[in-house]
A and B are shown apart, each in its own frame.
Chain A
Amino acid sequence: MDAKTNMAKGPQPSAGETRQMEGLGLENLIERARGHDGEALEEIYRRYVQRVFGLCRYMLDSREGAEDATSEVFLKLQHTIESYDGSIPFPRWLLRVAGNQCIDALRRRQRGLKVFVEVEDGAAIIEAPSAELSPLGAVISKEERVRVRDTIARLPENYRLPLILRYYSELSYNEIAQQLGLEKNYVAALIFRAKQELRRRLAPRSK
């Protein structure tokens, strides 16, 4: 539980072993990591690996692929961190980088196909019947959360990715659009439809 909350909040050192790096503030840490300080990189890894791995795990199908992507993100961090300008919080930036890594991995797997093929009417907003909102609004129990998560994991890629980038990485629609190489409108439509699909899938059993 401890680890989890740390992860979610980001830059707090986890309790436990006392290491020199642990006490360092995030800014300090990043500064040192930029100077190719191995220990600082190690510490960043320690703090964020689970968060990054979580993203990769959600975005990619296999644990193996997620592990690869995760190690790749941290491996490259010693170079990519130079481009971090502090304009957005570091955890979010890191997740953005990780998201890119995953999308690259997905693209590679699909041999150069775009993850999303933009369809003609894709950007058109579908007026959904303003259904009474699903069980989703009510679920809070742990079991239910597990179910939500599993259902999301089983959504088709084009629904799953925007949803995860939005609600796990907490990226804006614009950022998601940029990552996926899509129009912002289309991203909005995808997220909207993804939620509808999610509600549909969750509905039968929870009623």
Chain B
Amino acid sequence: MECYSEQACALFADGELAADEALRMREHMATCRACRHLLDALRAENRVLSESLSELSEETASPVAFSRFRLSWVWRDLAVIAVLLALGSIFSGWFDQLGIPGALEWVNPFSRSGLTNLVFSVSDYFAHGGTAMLNEYAEAVGGFVFLLLLGGSALLLGRRWRLPRAGFGLLMVLLTLSLSSFALDRRHGEFVTVPANETVDDTLMAAGNTVRIEGVINGDLLAFARTVEIRGTVKGDLVSFAKRIMVSGTVEGRIFDFSQSLDLNGQLGHSIYGFTQVLHVNDRAQVGEGILAAAGDFSLEGEVKRSVDILTSGNADVSGTIGRDLTMTGVSLTLSNTARVGGNLSARVHQLKEVRIADGATIAGKRDIQVQVRESRYARPRFYFHQAVWFAAAMLVGWLGLLLFPGFFRATTQAVGSGWLSLGLGVGVLAGAPVAIVVVALTLVGIPISLMVFAVYLVAIYLAKVWVGAFLGRILLKPSGATKGDWLLGLLVGLLILTIVGFIPYLGGLVRFGVVCLGLGAFAGQLYRASRPAVTANSQ
């Protein structure tokens, strides 16, 4: 009988030969020494292979050399971007001399004077349920953020079908380089000064301890510094993250201000969009359009051609001129003798006596002063209507969320149950996210990312009550099943309770704040857990 081929023997050794064939081979083996030898050798070979492989290499065998909860792709991409940026040609060196700690001290949530105030102002604002101002903000930046969000999700989605690593790296480098190639003049140092006789034709990006502009900037000015002083002229917009901004010269565009204090002494062509602790428009100042700002304290001595919308957690003092309406929400409002309001005055305060309007003050339009006394709210049918709409919206959002991201919403609801952990994480995220956003925004490529993160941050703050509500409802109802209906019913009950508790003076605000923290913490925790790439593996 003819001998078998090596391949046939190999199949036999692997136990892969069909039964009848195997039987024949076994018979043959009994008589053929050559084949038996071959088979033995093949088996020995297999054994060696198995043994060699199962004895894992040093590197592999190190026991649990990595954590199960390792950084996910998304985080890593962010890290890659950050590293790329840090290494990136455009900012190297600049980073060293930037002195971030000094320049950013005001956003340090652990410093008393810093962002804490802002954060608490905002928390206070949320606690009081105000959204009107945010809507206006959203209108101003909403479109832009939406586009960025689309781009960002496209990017993240693209990552699902992973670009080859090298390709991704290349793309990022190209992106970095292409961004740096648009007209941009970068300066950094302890003192960045544009002297009076100098004209910068590009957009200037300046970072340092003190940025002083005495000359002319034909483009925009992006300034990151402890102190920003504009004595000259900025023909474009001023975007600034600083502790102190003083404008005594001219800004022909708009001012986007994220700072501890903004003093406007000079001329401004368009509007101020601000998020600041102290906003001061001096008597020599002129604002070509309006002011839209959230500020701790606000004082206006100069002239604003159009409307002023202001949200303050402190006082608003007006002794200057406002061309159109003055809308304020806050603690107190003072209009002095010299104040002039060309349109309507609407103020929302807690106590009527906090609105002081001097006899000499001129208000051309209507005066609408609402005292946000809680008792009075319940008397108005509009209030119930608003609450109903608010409630329905939250339910709708919850339902949509459950429909679109069932796993995530449920898991986040579950995560609320971690209690103190969620709460702690939430407080951290609430205070830390703005800092992270600003730090990321310091890098040019980081600006879109920071805006995306900011959008997610706002959305999460809104959704917090949905998750906490659903959780609350669930522990109260203890539904046996875990159907969508149960979840929604839980949400209904939970939200109802939260809404009602929210009306209790003082305690309500505290509860709302706690809810935001809890929900945000659960969200952050869940986001971290879930952000690993969810590959659709057909794991069978």
Task: Give the B-binding residues of A (Cβ under 8 A).
Answer: 3-4, 7-8, 45-46, 49-50, 53-54, 57-58, 63, 67-68, 70-72, 74-76, 80, 83, 96-97, 100-101, 104-105, 108-109, 111-112, 125-128, 130-131, 133-134, 136-140, 145-146, 148-150, 152, 163-164, 166-168, 170, 172-173, 188-189, 191-192, 195
Are A4 and B45 neighbours in the complex by a CB distance under 8 Å?
A: no
Given A104-B535, A136-B48, A128-B53 contact (CB < 8 Å):
no
Residue in B52, B60, B532 with the greatest tally of chain A CB atoms within 10 Å: B52
> A167 touching B10 by the CB < 8 A rule?
no
User: Are B64 and A128 closer than 8 Å at their CB atoms?
Assistant: no
Q: Is the CB of B70 within 8 A of A71?
A: yes
**A145 to chain B: which residues have CB within 8 Å?**
48, 51-52, 55
A67 touches B70 (CB 8 A): yes
Q: Which of B36-44, B123-131, B213-221, B251-259 lies on the face that meets chain A?
A: B36-44
A71-B532, A76-B537, A109-B162 as given contacts; A192 in contact with B7, CB under 8 Å: yes
Check: B50 CB closer than 8 A to any chain A CB.
Answer: yes
Interface string of B9-46 (1 = CB under 8 A from A): 01100111000000000000000000000100110111
Interface centre among A136, A163, A168 (most CB of B within 10 A): A136
Q: Is the CB of A163 within 8 A of B49?
A: yes
- Which B-chain residue is minimally distant from A104 (CB atoms)? B537
B48 touches A97 (CB 8 A): no
Q: Is the CB of A83 within 8 A of B540?
A: yes
Cα A59 to Cα B361 with chains together (Å): 79
Interface of A is mostly: helix
Closest B residue to A45 by beta carbon equals B68
Bound CA span A70–B535, Å? 13
* Chain B contacts to A: CB under 8 angstroms: 5-7, 10-11, 14-16, 38, 41-42, 44-46, 48-57, 59-61, 63-64, 66, 68-70, 73, 161-162, 164, 532-533, 535, 537-540
Are A167 and B53 touching (Cβ within 8 A)?
Answer: yes
* Complex Cα gap A130–B15 (Å): 19
- When C-beta atoms are compared, the residue in chain A nearest to B537 turns out to be A104
CB distance from A10 to the nearest CB of B (A): 11
Enumerate 23 A-B pairs (CB-CB under 8 Å) in ascending A order.
A7-B56, A46-B64, A49-B64, A50-B60, A67-B70, A72-B532, A76-B537, A76-B539, A108-B161, A109-B162, A125-B5, A127-B7, A133-B38, A136-B48, A137-B44, A139-B48, A140-B48, A140-B51, A149-B57, A164-B53, A167-B49, A168-B53, A191-B14
Q: Is the CB of B53 within 8 A of A152?
A: yes
Q: Are the C-beta atoms of A152 and B52 separated by less than 8 Å?
A: yes
Interface centre among B14, B15, B56, B60 (most CB of A within 10 A): B56
Q: Which of B44, B55, B164 contacts A109 (CB 8 A)?
A: B164
Ranked nearest first, the 8 interchain pairs of A and B with the lowest CB-CB distance are A133-B41, A148-B52, A145-B52, A137-B44, A167-B49, A168-B53, A136-B45, A137-B41
The smallest C-beta distance from A141 to any residue of chain B, in angstroms, reads 11
Chain B residues within 8 Å of A150, by CB: 57
Residues of A within 8 A of B61 (CB): 3-4, 50, 54
Q: Roughly how many angstroms separate A100 CA and B59 CA in the complex, as a whole number?
A: 23
Most buried by A among B6, B164, B538: B6
Contact flag A74-B535 (CB < 8 Å), given A7-B56, A109-B164, A148-B49: no
Taking the nearest CB of chain B, how far is it from the CB of A1, in angstroms? 10
